[in-house]
Structure 1
Amino acid sequence: MFHPLVFDNIKVVLEGAVYDRDFDGDILVTSRADLIDTAVYQRLFQIDFRLPEGAPAGKREVTAQFQLRTSLADIAGELLEQPLTEHIGCTVCIHFYTYVQDVEGETSEIVGILNEIWGDRPHITQRISARLDEHRPLRWPPDIYENKITLDFHRKIDEGNIGDLRDLIDHTVVSLVRLSE
Structure 2
Amino acid sequence: MFDPTVFDNLKVVIEGYIYDLDLEKELSVTNRSDIVDLATMSRRYSLTFVSSQFRKTYVTIEISMDQEQLAGELLQTITEPGCHVVVSFVEEARSQDYDELFYRKLKKCWGNSHNIHLILMKEKTNTTTKYIHNFNVDFINSFGENNLEKLLNIVDQSISLLKQKSES
Compute the TM-score of the two structures, normalised by the length of structure 1. Answer: 0.83
Q: Whose RCO is larger (CA < 8 A, sep 6+)?
A: 1
Paired AA for residue 26 in structure 2: D
Aligned counterpart, 1:41: 41
Secondary structure of the equivalent of 1:156?
coil
CA separation of 1:147 and 1:29: change in aligned 2, threshold 3 A: same
Secondary structure of the equivalent of 1:19?
helix
Quote the offset at 1:163 in angstroms: 1.6
Aligned counterpart, 1:156: 142
Does residue 81 of structure 1 match 2:76? yes
Quote the offset at 1:103 in angstroms: 3.9
Quote the offset at 1:102 in angstroms: 5.4
Paired AA for residue 152 in structure 1: D
Aligned counterpart, 1:146: 132
Quote the offset at 1:23 in angstroms: 1.2
Quote the offset at 1:2 in angstroms: 2.7
Do 2:28 and 2:50's aligned partners in 1 also have CA atoms closer than 8 Å?
A: yes
Q: Which residue among 131, 146, 149 is the counterpart of 2:123? A: 131
Quote the offset at 1:100 in angstroms: 3.9
Compute the TM-score of the two structures, normalised by the length of structure 2. Answer: 0.89
Secondary structure of the equivalent of 1:155?
coil
Aligned counterpart, 1:90: 83
Deviation sequence 1:54-83 (CA, Å, 0-9, x none): 34xxxxx10000000001111111111113
Do 1:7 and 1:89's aligned partners in 2 also have CA atoms closer than 8 Å?
A: yes
Instruction: Mark the structure with the bigger radius of gyration.
Output: 1
Do 1:130 and 1:145's aligned partners in 2 also have CA atoms closer than 8 Å?
A: yes
Partner Cα distance (1:91, 1:44) in 2:
9
Alignment RMSD, CA only? 2.1
Q: Which residue among 113, 122, 132 is the counterpart of 2:114? A: 122
Do 1:7 and 1:70's aligned partners in 2 also have CA atoms closer than 8 Å?
A: yes
Partner Cα distance (1:145, 1:8) in 2:
35
Aligned counterpart, 1:167: 153
Q: Which residue among 57, 65, 77 is the counterpart of 2:60? A: 65
Aligned counterpart, 2:51: 51
CA separation of 1:87 and 1:119: change in aligned 2, threshold 3 A: same
Secondary structure of the equivalent of 1:75?
helix
Do 1:107 and 1:126's aligned partners in 2 also have CA atoms closer than 8 Å?
A: no
Aligned counterpart, 1:2: 2
Gaps of at least 5 residues in structure 1 are: 56-60
Do 1:118 and 1:171's aligned partners in 2 also have CA atoms closer than 8 Å?
A: no
Quote the offset at 1:25 in angstroms: 1.1
